[in-house]
Amino acid sequence: DKFREGLTKTRDSFSGKVNELVARYRKVDEEFFEELEEILIGADVGVNTVMDLIDELKMEVKRRNISEPSEVQSVISEKLVEIYEAGEDVSPTIQFQENGLTVVLVVGVNGVGKTTSIGKIAKKLKQEGKDVLLAAGDTFRAGAIEQLEVWGERVGVDVIKQSSGSDPAAVMYDAVQAAKARKVDVLLCDTAGRLQNKVNLMKELEKVKKVLEREVPGAPHEVLLVLDATTGQNALSQAKIFSEATNVTGIVLTKLDGTAKGGIVLAIRNEMQIPVKFVGLGEKADDLQEFNAEQYVYGLFA
């Protein structure tokens, strides 16, 4: 399946190392845990998360009276899933409004795969029978509008746009009116992602949000933050910056196929308390999956 395929690099590196560790040790002792800790940190699981995990593992090993290193492996899988699912609000997909329009604001730094992810999500929602409209809210980056239009054509979804350089809040206003008039189910809103001017970016997001709030009750219903898994701990710091500025409801973690450090999923979940809703596993329209902790952890080992 796609998950397994997308996690090939992480699996090769991570479970390769764990297997090697398990084969080398004759009993589960302090040193064993220290080495395991290093492997997990090396996979970008995040220091705090690793500490939690190791503590849990030690307790479980004691409780079950485990002494064979090979027996620890399945406990690691169990605990990884538990850590992921321990957080509140594990809603695997977009929370749709029961009646009327669901507005999804998509934020993130340039280059992380925001446009691509919007295209992929649009395709997925369409396949689920939803009417989707895109709003070309990144009026700043050269080519952003055209790129979104290419995706729109590819997946058969219309794009509401204005000219490059125009006010994103005005684009959102237009898009919401169009979405209402056409009675679509979901409006996916692209936004600009220039982090080098953080203050302006956040002001712009604020303004865009205000328009959405004013025009649609409860909007934006979801704020999805797109993060690039290959940037490792950088992704975590972006998550911190964006969640300070807006109420991020979910993460789209892209390029999981391109990294051996797929442990970042757990770090984000555990340290930010924001669920990863989708993962990008390639460049094509179908290379997007709803996140599933069990499949993910299975993909790390199996």
Mapped to the 3 state alphabet, what secondary structure does 154-195 carry? HHCCEEECCCCCCCHHHHHHHHHHHHHHCCCCEEEECCCCCH
Nearer to ligand GDP, 73 or 162 (CB): 162
Q: Is 10 in the site for ligand GDP (CB under 6 A)?
A: no
Question: Nearest distance from residue 204's CB to ligand GDP, in Å?
Answer: 16
Q: Is 275 in the site for ligand GDP (CB under 6 A)?
A: no
Q: Among residues 152, 128, 216, which one has the least CA distance to residue 179? A: 216
> What is the dihedral angle through the alpha carbons of 231, 19, 49, 294, rounded to the nearest 10 degrees?
90
According to DSSP, residue 143 is labeled T
Select the residue interacting with ligand GDP from 8, 77, 97, 110 (CB under 6 A).
Answer: 110
Q: Measured between alpha carbons, how far is 88 from 75 in angstroms, rounded to an integer?
A: 22
Helices 8-24 and 293-301 pack at an angle, to 10 degrees, of: 60
Q: Is 218 in the site for ligand GDP (CB under 6 A)?
A: no
Q: Is 115 annotated for ligand binding?
A: yes
Q: Is 280 in the site for ligand GDP (CB under 6 A)?
A: yes
Select the residue interacting with ligand GDP from 11, 79, 221, 255 (CB under 6 A).
Answer: 255
Select the residue interacting with ligand GDP from 257, 264, 270, 289 (CB under 6 A).
Answer: 257
Cα 78 → chain centroid: 22
Token reading at 73: 């492996």
Helices 264-272 and 47-63 pack at an angle, to 10 degrees, of: 90
Question: Nearest distance from residue 139's CB to ligand GDP, in Å?
Answer: 13
Q: Is 262 in the site for ligand GDP (CB under 6 A)?
A: no
Nearer to ligand GDP, 113 or 262 (CB): 113
Q: Is 221 in the site for ligand GDP (CB under 6 A)?
A: no
Select the residue interacting with ligand GDP from 102, 116, 238, 249 (CB under 6 A).
Answer: 116
Q: Is 123 in the site for ligand GDP (CB under 6 A)?
A: no
Residues 6+ apart with CB under 8 A from 240: 272
Q: Among residues 184, 201, 221, 218, which one has the least CA distance to residue 105? A: 221
Token reading at 140: 């700043």
Select the residue interacting with ligand GDP from 43, 53, 112, 208 (CB under 6 A).
Answer: 112
Total binding residues toward ligand GDP, as defined by CB under 6 A? 18
Cite the annotated binding site for GTP by residue number.
108-115, 190-194, 254-257
Binding site for ligand GDP (CB under 6 A): 108, 110-116, 193, 254-255, 257-258, 280-283, 287
